[in-house]
């Protein structure tokens, strides 16, 4: 029966409908490629580049969650990785596909919700998320963490960039409960170092720091209003 909650999944979908920006929102967001959005630049995150250059991670199979216009997925492919990259927006996947073709690299871009993609257990050496996690509602957080655990091989790496709480890009400081009182993520949830450490406590922490500010002339993207962190599956 429509709008009847008979299972835990029905409950999650009901909460999703109250909070999550619809697909049309993200399609419109990526439709105008000339907007002054910081991460629309065609260069990879400074932390991701550092992980490879410092041999913190090596080439392997990569899953990117919320790939946007594909800049980090393309970089991983250029480093010799096999890359699957997921995004909810058809517009962002189209843009990312065009960029990959221009760079003559192969990335498997997937237009889907990250929670609806079927992933074989222990497939990936690296799971990367640049800007997806802070749009994940609290009721989906356990599913998100379970997805990372399932996707990674033992000893695999999970890396993230996300909003600093109260940072210049947003980073709402509301509590998890307040999300449901307001029926909004207020543009994206912000986190503290302690919050990130607690949320990902099942993983081995390798690094949590502010992203480095990078100017327009440099070859990587970075802004200190974002956290960057690297964890390893135990």
Q: Residue 85 and residue 114: Cα distance in Å, rounded?
A: 10
14 in any annotated domain? no
15 in any annotated domain? no
pLDDT at 104: 96
36 in any annotated domain? yes
Nearest Cα to 148, choosing from 123, 112, 111, 113?
A: 123
Task: Summarize pLDDT for 55-87 with one digit per residue, the tens.
Answer: 888 889 999 999 999 999 999 999 999 999 999
**H/E element, 195:** helix 193-199
**Band of pLDDT at residue 149, cut at 50, 70 and 90:** very high
pTM of the model: 0.93
What CATH number is attached to the domain comprising 55?
3.40.50.150
86 in any annotated domain? yes
pLDDT at 56: 84
Nearest Cα to 48, choosing from 93, 85, 95?
A: 85
Average pLDDT of the chain, as a whole number? 93
5 in any annotated domain? no
16 in any annotated domain? no
Beta strands per DSSP E along the chain: 61-65, 82-87, 108-111, 124-130, 152-163, 203-210, 226-233
**Domain extent at residue 133:** 22-233
Task: Summarize pLDDT for 172-198 with one digit per residue, the tens.
Answer: 999 999 999 999 999 999 999 999 999
Q: Residue 151 and residue 145: Cα distance in Å, rounded?
A: 10
Task: Summarize pLDDT for 22-32 with one digit per residue, the tens.
Answer: 777 888 888 88
Which residue bears the tokens 């991701």? 48
Total of domains in the chain: 1
**Band of pLDDT at residue 3, cut at 50, 70 and 90:** confident
């Amino acid at each position: 029966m429509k709008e009847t909650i008979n299972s835990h999944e029905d409950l999650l979908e009901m909460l999703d409908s109250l909070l999550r920006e619809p697909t049309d929102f993200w399609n419109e967001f990526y439709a105008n490629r000339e907007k002054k959005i910081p991460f629309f630049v065609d260069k990879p995150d400074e932390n991701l580049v550092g992980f490879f250059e410092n041999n913190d991670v090596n080439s392997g199979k990569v899953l990117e969650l919320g790939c946007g216009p594909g800049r980090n997925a393309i970089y991983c492919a250029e480093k010799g990785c096999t890359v699957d990259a997921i995004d909810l927006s058809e517009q962002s996947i189209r843009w990312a596909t065009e960029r990959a073709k221009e760079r003559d690299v192969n990335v498997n871009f997937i237009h889907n919700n990250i929670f609806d993609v079927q992933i074989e257990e222990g497939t990936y050496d690296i799971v990367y998320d640049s800007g997806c996690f802070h749009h994940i509602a609290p009721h989906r957080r356990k599913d998100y963490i379970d997805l990372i655990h399932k996707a990674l091989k033992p000893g695999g790496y999970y890396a993230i960039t996300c909003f600093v709480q109260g940072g210049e890009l947003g980073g709402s400081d509301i509590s998890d409960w307040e999300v449901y009182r307001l029926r909004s993520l207020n543009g994206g949830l912000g986190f503290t170092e302690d919050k990130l450490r607690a949320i990902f406590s099942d993983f081995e922490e390798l690094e949590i720091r502010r992203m480095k500010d990078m100017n327009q002339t440099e070859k990587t993207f970075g802004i200190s209003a974002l956290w960057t962190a690297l964890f390893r599956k135990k």
